[in-house]
Amino acid sequence: MTLSEYQLFLSIGMGLCGLMVLVNLMRVGSRGASAYVMASAFAVAGGGLYLVMIEAPRPALYASAALLAALLIVDVAIRSYQGHNRP
């Protein structure tokens, strides 16, 4: 894989993350707070891909990965809580 192909792959990934942010924000009415959390998670994932593209220092990548993991855990907790409270 050449450098240009690698950067194209990262750019497409960032674009897909941006698209998923918009999709999740449009689903706020049906999914509530979980949609906001997932939109944030996709934004952080896209930011992580950008950090890889610009060859950011490892602590920045680790912080991005930790934030992404935390957001996904929060999403699971929200969905679990909403699932128990539905009739």
At residue 32 the predicted structure's pLDDT band, cuts being 50, 70 and 90, is confident
- The Cβ-side half-sphere exposure at 77, using a 13 Å CA radius, reads 7
Map out the domains of the chain as residue ranges: 29-87
Q: Is the pLDDT of residue 85 over 90?
A: no
Q: Is the pLDDT of residue 23 over 60?
A: yes
Work out the mean pLDDT of the chain and round it to a whole number.
93
For 61-71, write each residue's pLDDT tens digit: 999 999 999 99
What 8-state DSSP symbol labels residue 85? T
